Structure 1
Amino acid sequence: MKNNILYTFILLSLVAASCRKELDDVNINPNATENAQPDYLLTAAIKNTADAYWGTTNNMNSSLLFVQQWAKVQYTEEDRFIYSNSSFTSLWSTLYSTSITGLNKVIEIGNTTNNPNYRGVALTLRSWSFLLLTDAYGDVPYSQAGKINEFITPAYDKQKDVYYGILEDLKTANSVLNPAGTAISGDIIYNGDIAKWKKFANSLRLRVALRIADREPAKAQQVLDKIKSEGGSYISANADIAQLIYQVSPQQNPVSAQFDTRDDYRISKTIVDKLFSLSDPRLPVYASKTQTATPEEYVGLPNGLTNSEASNFGFAKTSRPGAYFLTPQSPAVIFSYAELLFDRAEAAARGLTAENAADLYNQGIAASLKQFGISDALIANYTAQRAVQYDPSNYKKSIGEQKWLALFGQGLEAWAERRRLDYPELTASANTVLNGQIPVRFIYPGTEQSLNGQSYRNAVASQGTDLLTTRLWFDVK
């Protein structure tokens, strides 16, 4: 009897294995490679993440409005902070389902093919992806993210733990990246220049160290000391800028693509007024002249207008973004040399390094202006102004305002820095719906409540109510 049972079990097992084999054969796509190629995965991850970072939902329709670099001239609901729980799905879904999943595969391939440079580049990009997510939402899946075979409903890690994890990943990335090692393909940021990837990884470490500096100054100090002891270098020239340079349609810059078919946005009056007040030579780069001639030539649109108010200002008498940003090949900047210099200036001002904060601050301004082709003579005139000069008694104001100008177009990063430094001081329109407050986070996608409900509820219980006005851990007032 026992032998019959055993025989039946073996027979059923063989039949099941045969069925699985047949299903595997049936489900092979004859038009696709069965072995993932790291170069294709890397290119796709860079492109998809840059598009999400620079595109409509997470940039033009939200963070650029929050920092009052852009404003809406029609369909102004978002400029009045009217959002639903489906408004912020794009960043979450793109980075988790596409970017991080693909980069995890590149890391795996780098390990199995003994090419650590793929691993280091993918770790650097994955760290940037997680940084975008936690800066926007707060507590997010990190330690269990992208591991679909293990975690269908990943837990949310606390923001502090996400930042700490990112710092460890970036330290690992820097240690495995080897300019003399095996070459990589598919790198559409640095074209396989691993020395520049090491600079980018260290620059991100500095960015994260400052992100946590108000909460964890000792940890920030430790990170910078570690980079120094490693002999690490940062982005050191505009030629090192981490950016994706787009091509012509249909691979053009998302801003260019948006303005090909729509005309919803104008430059904010807030930033135009600031540029005018400083005689800033970036004004004709950041803004276009009005279509109908006006005495000012460049006219910013107030944020938070109703649809009828915006219509009264009109399309032709308000300024679009500058031609530089509307060009199909305009780059999606991820990390600029100017930002790096301002970060070093802040680290010095905080006493985390022995560098000269004022000198680095002035270098940061010069790097930003040179990034847009401004001449040395105009740079000298600009930095000589009293209103531009560094104020050591309020480094957050000096650096915060100039970094806000330098990060024009990089909505998510400008928004993170404005929340952290509390400058520039911005005022919400009376038409906005948050009682005079400006959003300080994205709300979680509504799909998380239905598909990952327990993890979502745990995060809300830990972090606070899932509202646009719930301050995140790094954002110390």
Structure 2
Amino acid sequence: MKKYILILSLLILASCSQVGDLQDDPNRATQVSPDLLLTNIETSAFNNVSLNAALASRQLTYTDGTDSYQYYNWQRAGFDNYDILKQVQKMIQESKRTETEVYQILAKFFNAYFTVELTRVFGDVPFTEAVQAEDGLYMPVYDSQESIYKSVLDSLKTASLELAQNDEAIRGDIIYNGDKTKWRKLINSYSLRVLMSLSKKTNNSNLEVVTRFNEIVNNPTQYPIFESNTDNAALVYVDIQDNRYPLFNSNSLQTAYYMEQSFVERLQNLEDPRLFAFADKKPNASAAAVTDFTAYGGLYGSAPLSDNGAKAVSGEASRIKPRYYNDPINEPSLLMGYPELQFTLAEAAARGWITTATDSYYKTGIAASMNFYGITDTADYLANPKVQLQNPADIATILAQKHIALFLNTGWQIFYDQRRTGFPEFNVDGGGILNNGLIPKRFMYPQNETVNNPENLNDAITRQFPEGDNINGVMWLIN
């Protein structure tokens, strides 16, 4: 398998010396094949294992200090995704140079994906004027979230339709090995994720959220979507330097992280065997069977650090399963998986967007998640009365199962789902919480924007957040 992490010096030119300003350097790369760029872009997009997201989403806890993600006191995030968008733009340029249109089509997906990642972190962000420094545009305006989402949805639709008509080979593809049908499934499944993120905007005639959702779901030939775990948008790791599971040999994961109590208790209450795939037994239960649910425990995410530290020292908390830090391959990282799609469809049914029974999608999602973790006997669990939906509109139970399915994977997706729906509930009552007991709604804009692009930044803040740029501001997406 081709290395995932390529040497970026092939892509980004170093500063020119005086001599270099006067003549061409025959050893300096000025062009690069678009397939090499694709490989690097895929690695960035699909590598979604995040300890910070797991802390914020009440799946893990941290004991070597008061972690800002766990205690909801984070501040600013960065615009690093624009560096990747520059590579996407470069791939478009090289695709045009080499007359290989397929990379321009895939670029539509990646532009959409990285832009969505940016806007759901901050709110309004530069979009139409972004990544245009080569053209002398150094201070881009901030586009509204509404206009960004409209453009993204249109672009994703176009990408899926164009890919169906394209007959060029995709090289450099470490995700689907050039399989265009699987790429179309990802693009359309991801479109459903984006549409569900707009659940508060169903009355917006400019977006036509429900109509677009049904257009995809009701036309599987034209808009194929994931059909099983074999379609997962997965980055598979290999035991080669720079290609291993990102938490492999992480000392802090072995020593400072524990399972979160409310997450463990949910799995115990449901008698969910995925607990055994996620967690190690607590030290005080070392003699118990691995399948003994009482042998597991956790630390309360919002409890004071001192309380959690004392409980950990007493041996009453489970660490994460050792495979997460001692297996160089472990499990794939997902940009999006089949279980997530099924829970998205279940939520759509619960909201009345589509007519298929909610329970069908819901249980398919659970079974697919269990299969992902190597659990093939799912019948008893699916028949468990505690697992059943309370009614066809039971979004809370759907999101609780989605929370389990996305354990330490798919980046911040489950946090954004909770921000949008309020489910599952993330505890803030433990006495150690910061931010006045509030779960943040966003990250503040990067500090360097206040220096490099202050006028456009201030315009964006003023029109969105009357209280100023703070982590509790409610962006258009969730308003």
Q: Fold match, TM over 0.5?
A: yes
- 1:38 deviates by 1.0
Residue identity opposite 1:265 in structure 2: Y
- Structure 1 residues 178-193: aligned runs within 5 Å: 178=164, 181-193=167-179
* Conserved 8 A contact 2:304-2:433: no
The residue matched to 1:243 in structure 2 has which SS?
strand
* Aligned position for 1:347: 348
Equivalent in 118, 133, 141 of residue 133 of structure 1: 118
- 1:427 deviates by 2.1
Residue 242 (structure 2) pairs with residue 250 (structure 1): yes
* Aligned position for 2:469: 466
- 1:255 deviates by 2.4
The residue matched to 1:103 in structure 2 has which SS?
helix
* Aligned position for 2:415: 415
Residue identity opposite 1:321 in structure 2: I
- Structure 1 residues 102-121: aligned runs within 5 Å: 102-121=87-106
Residue identity opposite 1:223 in structure 2: R
- 1:193 deviates by 1.0
Report how many residues are paired: 443
- Structure 1 residues 41-440: aligned runs within 5 Å: 41-51=37-47, 53-54=48-49, 59-61=50-52, 63-78=53-68, 79-85=70-76, 88-89=77-78, 92-93=79-80, 95-97=81-83, 99-150=84-135, 151-178=137-164, 181-217=167-203, 219-227=208-216, 228-229=218-219, 231-248=222-239, 249-259=241-251, 263-291=255-283, 293=285, 296-314=294-312, 317-326=316-325, 327-329=327-329, 330-376=331-377, 379-392=378-391, 394-410=393-409, 411-428=411-428, 429-440=430-441
CA distance in 2, matches of 1:123, 1:257: 36
Q: 1:142 to 1:421 in 2, by over 3 A?
A: same
CA distance in 1, matches of 2:451, 2:130: 18
How does the TM-score come out when normalised to structure 1? 0.86
* Conserved 8 A contact 1:179-1:195: no
Structure richer in helix, relative to its length: 1
* Conserved 8 A contact 2:305-2:432: no
| Gap runs ≥5 in structure 2 | 1-15, 289-293
Residue identity opposite 1:443 in structure 2: M
CA distance in 2, matches of 1:270, 1:251: 33
* Aligned position for 1:35: 31
Q: 1:454 to 1:357 in 2, by over 3 A?
A: same
* Conserved 8 A contact 1:306-1:431: yes
* Conserved 8 A contact 1:255-1:325: yes
CA RMSD of aligned residues (A): 2.5
- 1:69 deviates by 1.0
* Conserved 8 A contact 2:304-2:431: no
Q: 1:306 to 1:391 in 2, by over 3 A?
A: closer
Q: 1:258 to 1:48 in 2, by over 3 A?
A: farther
The residue matched to 1:310 in structure 2 has which SS?
helix
Cα deviations across residues 177-198 of structure 1 (Å, max 9, x unaligned)? 1476111211111111111000
CA distance in 2, matches of 1:304, 1:194: 45
* Conserved 8 A contact 1:124-1:173: yes
Residue identity opposite 2:424 in structure 1: P
Q: 1:364 to 1:84 in 2, by over 3 A?
A: closer
- 1:49 deviates by 3.3
Q: 1:163 to 1:257 in 2, by over 3 A?
A: farther
CA distance in 2, matches of 1:291, 1:153: 55
The residue matched to 1:256 in structure 2 has which SS?
coil
- 1:155 deviates by 1.5
Cα deviations across residues 306-351 of structure 1 (Å, max 9, x unaligned)? 4433331236653222244333223111111011111112222223
Q: 1:394 to 1:344 in 2, by over 3 A?
A: closer
* Conserved 8 A contact 2:186-2:233: yes
CA distance in 2, matches of 1:27, 1:73: 55
CA distance in 1, matches of 2:202, 2:96: 33
Residue identity opposite 1:75 in structure 2: G
How does the TM-score come out when normalised to structure 2? 0.86
CA distance in 2, matches of 1:66, 1:416: 10
Residue identity opposite 2:478 in structure 1: D
Q: 1:309 to 1:221 in 2, by over 3 A?
A: same
Q: 1:282 to 1:166 in 2, by over 3 A?
A: same
Cα deviations across residues 167-219 of structure 1 (Å, max 9, x unaligned)? 11111211221476111211111111111000000011111111112213551
* Conserved 8 A contact 1:117-1:178: no
- 1:431 deviates by 1.5
Q: Which has the larger radius of gyration?
A: 1
The residue matched to 2:437 in structure 1 has which SS?
coil
- 1:120 deviates by 2.1
- 1:414 deviates by 0.7
* Conserved 8 A contact 1:300-1:319: yes
- 1:393 deviates by 5.2
CA distance in 1, matches of 2:347, 2:107: 28
CA distance in 1, matches of 2:448, 2:45: 20
Cα deviations across residues 22-76 of structure 1 (Å, max 9, x unaligned)? 754546371x42212212211111223344x42xxxx313x32222011112122
CA distance in 1, matches of 2:453, 2:254: 35
CA distance in 2, matches of 1:222, 1:374: 36
* Conserved 8 A contact 1:117-1:194: no
Residue identity opposite 2:295 in structure 1: E
The alignment-based identity, stated in percent, is 29
Q: 1:255 to 1:276 in 2, by over 3 A?
A: same
| Gap runs ≥5 in structure 1 | 1-18
